[in-house]
Amino acid sequence: MSFGIPFYSDFHRSILSSLLRAFGLSRLDRSATCNTVAFVAVICLGTGCNRSNPYLTASPSGFSGPGASANVASPQLTAQINELERRAKLLDDNNRQLTTQLAQSQQQMQLFQERSELMQRQAQDMSNQLQQSRIANAQSSQQMRGLADQVQSVQTNQQRRGGAKLTANTSNRLASEPLRDLGYTVEDEGGVIRLRVPADQLFQPGTAQLSPSASGILDRIADAIKRGYPRQRIAIEGHSDNTPLYGGAFATNHQLCAAQSNAILEHFTKRNQMPISQLFTLAHGENYPIGDNQSPASRSVNRRIEFVVYPETF
């Protein structure tokens, strides 16, 4: 099939050869498609569609067609494409940096959370250790108070037995009548006589301050001891109930009983002029109750001062 192109110049032949190679036609196909390729070449030359073909940019006769202006726009389009590619690359780089920063921030947050949990566990452990230490200190304080009671009792007994010459008065038993006339409970324990006086009648509640009526009571007791037991050793023993002390001058009942016993000793030696070598004090606290401490009445019975008359003389 022919499109009526009777001949080709050398320039046209070169263009057709290039087109045939571009379309991948073999030598055998060239004759069959020559007219078709020629038609395409003419159309391309007329319209400037093959701007990329080097043979169409110019002709030996100086031919210039519509494709010439397209060649001028190609560098601008290339520059725009390059700029877009550069911006896309910058965006990619920024995205990678943001992704890296996000991963680092998540890692730091995880580290902070682990440190916070560790500090909370350490604080809880310290709180538990502090509570255990407080319990241990309370137990140690209680044990120390018990040991102090024992030491004081031993020291008092040693002082009573070794500090003065004691001679046994076994010729006759001590009579309890001089104390019974006072109107308080008197017990005879195999030669040892005990006079029990309620501490509430002698002291202000929870203190070692003598009440206004205490002087009269202590004066009568001192006179009875002077008449009936002028040479016997006399112990002043303080006892209390098991009610804990809150506030005030004394932390424990043992301290309160010791202060009360010493107050009576001072009264006997200063006001009643009794010899100091005849008297000694003991503080038992709540260790020897005579009531069950289950009611106000039984607790008041346990709060007492006992004046103990020993058969030994000084």
Lowest mean pLDDT among 94-108, 207-221, 250-264: 94-108
What is the mean pLDDT of the segment spanning 173-180? Answer: 84
What is the mean pLDDT of the segment spanning 14-38? Answer: 53
Q: What is the pLDDT of residue 10?
A: 62
Lowest mean pLDDT among 55-64, 116-125, 138-147, 300-309: 55-64
The pLDDT confidence band at residue 236, using thresholds 50, 70 and 90, is very high
What is the mean pLDDT of the segment spanning 202-227? Answer: 95
Q: What is the pLDDT of residue 20?
A: 57
Top mean-pLDDT range of 13-17, 49-53, 135-139, 227-231 = 227-231
**Domains of the chain, residue spans:** 10-65, 164-313
The pLDDT confidence band at residue 43, using thresholds 50, 70 and 90, is very low
Q: What is the pLDDT of residue 61?
A: 42
The pLDDT confidence band at residue 174, using thresholds 50, 70 and 90, is confident
Residue, of 87 and 41, whose pLDDT is higher: 87
Q: What is the pLDDT of residue 153?
A: 62
The pLDDT confidence band at residue 46, using thresholds 50, 70 and 90, is very low
In the chain, the percentage of residues whose pLDDT exceeds 90 is: 44
Instruction: Give me the architecture of the 164-313 domain, per CATH.
Output: 2-Layer Sandwich (3.30)
In the chain, the percentage of residues whose pLDDT exceeds 70 is: 66
Q: Is the pLDDT of residue 295 over 60?
A: yes
The pLDDT confidence band at residue 210, using thresholds 50, 70 and 90, is very high
Distance CA 210, CA 30 (A): 143
Q: What is the pLDDT of residue 9?
A: 54
Q: What is the pLDDT of residue 148?
A: 67
Residue, of 31 and 228, whose pLDDT is higher: 228
